[in-house]
Amino acid sequence: MRILLIEDEKDLAAFITSLLKKAGMAIDTAHDGEQGIFLARTNNYGLIITDYILPKLDGRSLIQELRQEGKQMPILMLSARQGTIDKISVLDAGADDYLAKPFSSEELLARIRALSRRPHNIQSDVLTFKNLKLEPESFKLSKGNKNIKLTNKEFSLLQYLMINKGRIVSRETLLDHVWDDGLDSFSNTVETHILRLRRKIENKDEKIIHTIVGRGYCLDIRK
Ligand code: CA
């Protein structure tokens, strides 16, 4: 899952970034509200985490604008402010949840899991394709009755392909959804990860990830 974090406290932003990366998520960071709303409009995020008090555009206005534009992704608000009035005003503006600072890593991860389980978000559904079964909640992939160990990136990549089974997914789309902004899109990292993934899930008689030359990759549901 690709996440946008909008937080002007750089130490906290760095802490959350490393926490979420370890949990297998791709994360982009903005340090003020204007940069945040720009990224939220430009990219496809599975979740936005935003601070309340931000330079240039505050978290509440940012959420309101995104909702008015029809953006549906779950949004978690962070804030050092306490009290029910703020909480209600934030939820009214269109945030899905609210977490008061300071919070523990466990609590943040639990809130993220809960938000990604909501119906408008398919990121945590169990996915199947042929005899593959991928369980995002427990970070497990099995093929028949055999468990297969994947790296975080391989897991996210396969998850995205399984969500889109039957459709051709371009390299650019994969870069957009599975990788974060820090990556040079000319690098061969998509190809490298597809290759490693194939070695783990395919054998010589069975192709799972098909390459459609010039267009992308596909889990073909007809074969
Ligand atoms: Ca702040």
DSSP string spanning 38-80? HHHHHS--SEEEEESS-SSS-HHHHHHHHHHTT--S-EEEEES
Ligand 1 centroid, distance to 81 Cα (angstroms): 10
DSSP 83-139: SHHHHHHHHHTT-SEEEESS--HHHHHHHHHHHHTSTT--TTS-EEETTEEEETTTT
Q: Over pLDDT 70: what percentage of the chain?
A: 89
* pLDDT score for 200: 95
Confidence of residue 183 (pLDDT cuts 50, 70, 90): low
Ligand 1 centroid, distance to 9 Cα (angstroms): 6
* pLDDT score for 32: 97
Ligand 1 centroid, distance to 12 Cα (angstroms): 10
Ligand 1 centroid, distance to 59 Cα (angstroms): 9
* pLDDT score for 65: 94
Tens digit of each residue's pLDDT (9 = 90 or more) over 190-201: 888 999 999 999
Lowest-confidence pick of 12-21, 91-100, 118-127: 118-127
Confidence of residue 173 (pLDDT cuts 50, 70, 90): confident
Lowest-confidence pick of 22-26, 138-142, 176-180: 176-180
Tens digit of each residue's pLDDT (9 = 90 or more) over 60-112: 999 999 988 888 889 999 987 665 556 777 788 889 888 888 899 999 999 99
* pLDDT score for 186: 59
* pLDDT score for 202: 93
Confidence of residue 49 (pLDDT cuts 50, 70, 90): very high
Q: Which residues contact 25 (CB under 8 A, 6 or more apart)?
A: 1, 2, 3, 156
Q: Please compute the mean of the pLDDT values over residues 49-61 and round it to a whole number.
A: 94
Is the model's pLDDT at 211 over the cut of 70? yes
Measured CA distances, 68 to 14, 48, 52, 63, 65 (Å): 30, 16, 18, 9, 5
Please state which architecture CATH assigns to domain 127-219.
Orthogonal Bundle (1.10)
φ, ψ at 91 (rounded to 5°):
-70, -35
Confidence of residue 185 (pLDDT cuts 50, 70, 90): low
Strands 127-129 and 132-135: antiparallel
Ligand 1 centroid, distance to 78 Cα (angstroms): 9
Measured CA distances, 57 to 31, 35, 52, 99, 181 (Å): 11, 9, 9, 19, 22
Handedness of CA 144, 46, 70, 89 (dihedral sign): positive
Closest CA to 101 of 58, 64, 65, 49: 49
Lowest-confidence pick of 14-18, 37-41, 114-118, 173-177: 114-118
Domain limits, CATH 3.40.50.2300, in the chain: 2-116
Verdict on whether the full-model pTM lies above 0.75: no
Is the model's pLDDT at 48 over the cut of 60? yes
Stated length of the chain: 223
Pick the CATH number of 2-116 from 3.55.40.20, 3.40.50.2300, 3.20.110.20, 1.10.645.10: 3.40.50.2300
* pLDDT score for 181: 65
Domain limits, CATH 1.10.10.10, in the chain: 127-219
Q: What is the mean pLDDT of the chain?
A: 87
Ligand 1 centroid, distance to 211 Cα (angstroms): 45
